Amino acid sequence: MVAVTDKAIEKLKVMISSGELRPGQRLPREPDLAASLGLSRSSLREAVRALSLVRILDVRQGDGTYVSDLSAESLVDTLSFIVEFQHDSSVLELLEVRRILEPAACARAATEISGNALAELEKILELVTIDSPVVDLVAADVQFHAAIASAAGNSVLASLIDSLSGPTQRARVWRGITQEGSGARTLYEHRAIFEAIRAHDAQLASMWSTIHIAGVEDWLRRTLDTR
């Protein structure tokens, strides 16, 4: 699906920056827009859905699809980020480092975590559900991993993991938008990591952490391979 949205993003970026589409303006009829973008109508619907989730487009039931009321500059900046992100292999390298460090943090947390820290970790799990917006899911994801790193009891390790969190957040948001079922998978894996830590099973906590990070890494690797 990401390859499909690429075409829509590139085209919309040109249309907005050129003034052909202005903030608040309604998009052309679906058949016309699909033809101009070189997409099938079903593919266009998927692209519109993705862009509506990042608030580039505003889908109004029974009325049509409109460009967001954000300024033209803000719209172009957001679209530029999405285009650049999808061609940026450096994010993949950051995820590879996360896959090395975070299983170690989970293993340490399984043996070092306090009762209070464990209770706080469980509260983070309860902040979101499968129906929560993608941005909320990712925010809870960031909190979850930071809490585990802190509970591992090694300030240097926690600092390294924190430094990797910010640059990979957008990748996690875009995955949540474009990969069906990724939110449910993330919640399931978070719960599995938590249960392993609660059971003080360092090996199991490390294994689930590896699976969790590798899922995002694999998605991004396949995304970049389609370029």
Parse the chain into domains and list their residue ranges. 2-85, 90-225
| Six token digits for residue 101 | 């460090």
pLDDT in the model for residue 18: 76
For domain 2-85, give the fold. Arc Repressor Mutant, subunit A (1.10.10)
| Six token digits for residue 73 | 């500059």
pLDDT in the model for residue 120: 97
Contacts 24+ apart (CB under 8 A), 140-146: 141/172, 141/186, 141/190, 142/169, 144/190, 145/102
8 A C-beta contact, residue 12 and residue 51: yes
Give the predicted TM-score (pTM) of the model: 0.68
Nearest CA to 106 out of 117, 94, 90 is that of: 117
Rounded to 10 degrees, the C-alpha dihedral 161/165/166/170 comes to 160
CA atoms 206, 102, 93, 212: torsion sign: positive
pLDDT in the model for residue 192: 98
Half-sphere exposure of 212 (CA within 13 A, CB side): 27
| Six token digits for residue 199 | 């059971």
Residue range 90-225, CATH number: 1.20.120.530
Mean pLDDT over all residues of the chain? Answer: 83
CA atoms 179, 139, 84, 40: torsion sign: positive
Contacts 24+ apart (CB under 8 A), 206-214: 206/103, 206/104, 206/106, 206/107, 207/103, 208/106, 209/102, 209/103, 209/105, 209/106, 210/99, 210/103, 212/102, 212/186, 213/95, 213/98, 213/99, 213/102, 213/103, 214/99
Neighbours of 45 (CB within 10 A): 16
| Six token digits for residue 39 | 């997409």
Residue stretches of the chain with pLDDT short of 70? 1-10, 13, 50, 53-55, 70-89, 170, 226-227
